[in-house]
Chains A and B, each alone.
Chain A
Amino acid sequence: EADIYQTPRYLVIGTGKKITLECSQTMGHDKMYWYQQDPGMELHLIHYSYGVNSTEKGDLSSESTVSRIRTEHFPLTLESARPSHTSQYLCASSSTSGPGELFFGEGSRLTVL
């Protein structure tokens, strides 16, 4: 069982609100990622981190921001949500010891009205 948790699982909010999606892992992994997933579409990497105080933009441009103050915590923030941000957001982590398995959380499904 992977130990990576996302909250909230589901969120419906109005346009212009600030939201933070939480992601925490208890595996001690240095690498963490945020993917955006739309129905019937591939996952797109929007942010990643190699460790504390390290954050990078992914391949898909996103208006969201991330922070990595603690190894286990990698929150994603939208300062002003818009309907175009409606999507599922998946957090993942992996160990440093080489290529291989991404451990995913169960996702946060965001709907912006």
Chain B
Amino acid sequence: AQSVTQLDSQVPVFEEAPVELRCNYSSSVSVYLFWYVQYPNQGLQLLLKYLSGSTLVKGINGFEAEFNKSQTSFHLRKPSVHISDTAEYFCAVSDSQTSYDKVIFGPGTSLSVIP
């Protein structure tokens, strides 16, 4: 069965500093990987996704993530954060060979940007 681990439940970071949010997954088959963001009192929206090809994926709002198959990781990075990046971030995985519609989410990482 697939599962997603987000190692940090809360990440405080100063404005304009870099940030990395960690994500590891477990799966015995090829996967698709996603990062979603949830702003307060809103639904989730897609930041970026890895389906195939280049392991470095660029998303919206200056975020990027790197797929590392050997380490089963998909860490999210941003070189300089803004106050507006304060939100909950969810890593997610789906099985590329069968039911890719079923997306499994991690527990989320709460990013707090400090002025």
Contacts and interface: CB of A to CB of B under 8 A. Distances in A.
Contacts of A59: 102, 104
A29 to B, nearest CB: 11
A92 B46 CA distance: 12
A65 to B, nearest CB: 19
Contacts of B46: 100-102
Nearest to A109: B41
Q: How large is the interface on B (under 10, 10 to 19, 20 to 34, 35 or more residues)?
A: 20 to 34
Contacts of A104: 43-45
Interface residues of A, number: 26
B43 A43 contact: no
Interface of B: 4, 9, 32, 36, 41-46, 49, 51, 90, 94, 96, 100-108
Interface of A: 2, 4, 6, 31, 35, 40-43, 45, 48, 50, 58-59, 90, 92, 94, 98-102, 104-107
